[in-house]
Amino acid sequence: MGFWEVTLFLLDGFKVTCLLFLLTLIFSLPLGLIICMGTMTKFRPIRYIMKVFVWIIRGIPLMLQLFIVFYVPGMLFDIRIPDLEINVFGKTLEISARFLSALIAFVINYACYFSEIYRGGIQSISRGQYEAGQVLGMTKMQIFFKIILKQVIKRILPPVSNEVITLVKDTALARVISVVEIIKLAEQLASRALLWPLFYTGAFYLLFVGILTLLFNHFEKKLSYFKS
């Protein structure tokens, strides 16, 4: 196989990598906010449950969580994670049970990490900002959305970008439950004694992370007009 053939071949797997990355972000960023609210609520039972949940998810290897999501529902409850066909803008997107399991595991795992980043960001805003809003007669919602949120976003952007970049590379773990992403494909070639494509996959990741880095730099610059 020549260079271009290998590139095209790997690109098929890279699409899966990108899809897993993108869907994980789309679901885990908001889910993280919900978990964050859970860990910060004044209602103790929920707070404790959420804290234990975050502890478990952050305390077990992600690879193990992939296995758990893929095998345990079937073993314990006889639930099979289904193969899905989703219609996106007129195109049919086939989502295998393996891919869906990986997605679920990634979303839960990353949401927990994001929730802790959010919590740190929210708690780092001084009480004076809330109080200034209060004495000006603003509601809690107005204070959060008009005063606090943008300052939180500015503060959590660097740690969030860190997590996002880690996620790009973590998607490679999905191959342990046989999701055919880029490294899985390269391994197929390697088993046929074509080793170099395995190392070549690094270039795909590098390029992707490079683009993300530029994107986050751009966001940071956009928020650099104020100090918080």
Partner 1 sequence: MSLLEVSNIRKSFGKTEVLRGIDFSLEKGDVLSIIGSSGSGKTTLLRCLNFLETPDTGTISINGKTIFDASLHKKLKETEIRSNRLHFGLVFQSFNLFPQYNVLDNITLAPKMRLNEMNYSKEEKKEHLQGIIKTAQQLLDKVGLTEKAASYPCELSGGQQQRVAIARALALSPDILCFDEPTSALDPELTGEVLRVIRDLKSSDCTMIVVTHEMEFAKNVSDKVIFMANGIIEEEGNPYDIFEAPKSPLTRAFLNKSVESF
Q: Which helix (H) or strand (E) holds 93?
A: strand 91-95
Work out whether 15 is an interface residue with partner 1 (CB under 8 A): no
Closer CB to partner 1, 79 or 136, in the complex:
136
Burial class (CB in 10 A: 0-12, 13-18, 19+), 27: middle
Name which position in 34, 48, 55, 134 contacts partner 1 (CB under 8 A).
134
Name which position in 15, 58, 150, 222 contacts partner 1 (CB under 8 A).
150
Name which position in 8, 26, 60, 132 contacts partner 1 (CB under 8 A).
132
| 18 in Cβ contact with 26 (< 8 Å) | no
- Which pair of structure tokens corresponds to residue 74? 């079937």
Closer CB to partner 1, 115 or 151, in the complex:
151
Task: Calculate the dihedral angle through the C-alpha atoms of 148, 153, 154, 156, rounding to the nearest 10 degrees.
Answer: 120
Closer CB to partner 1, 155 or 184, in the complex:
155
Work out whether 101 is an interface residue with partner 1 (CB under 8 A): no
Name which position in 8, 34, 82, 146 contacts partner 1 (CB under 8 A).
146
How many Å from the N-terminal Cα to the C-terminal Cα in the chain?
Answer: 55
Rounded least distance, CB 149 to partner 1, Å: 9
Work out whether 151 is an interface residue with partner 1 (CB under 8 A): yes
Segment lying near partner 1 (by CB under 8 A), choices 28-36, 98-106, 130-138, 191-199: 130-138
Rounded least distance, CB 213 to partner 1, Å: 24
Closer CB to partner 1, 132 or 206, in the complex:
132
Residue 89: CB atoms within 10 Å = 5
Three-state secondary structure call for residue 40: helix
DSSP character for 91? E
In total, the chain counts a number of residues equal to 228
CA angle, 10 as apex, 6 and 15 as ends, to 5°? 150
- Euclidean distance between CA atoms 186 and 180, whole angstroms: 10
Rounded least distance, CB 2 to partner 1, Å: 54
Positions that interact with partner 1 (CB under 8 A): 126, 128-129, 131-139, 142, 146-147, 150-151, 154, 225-228
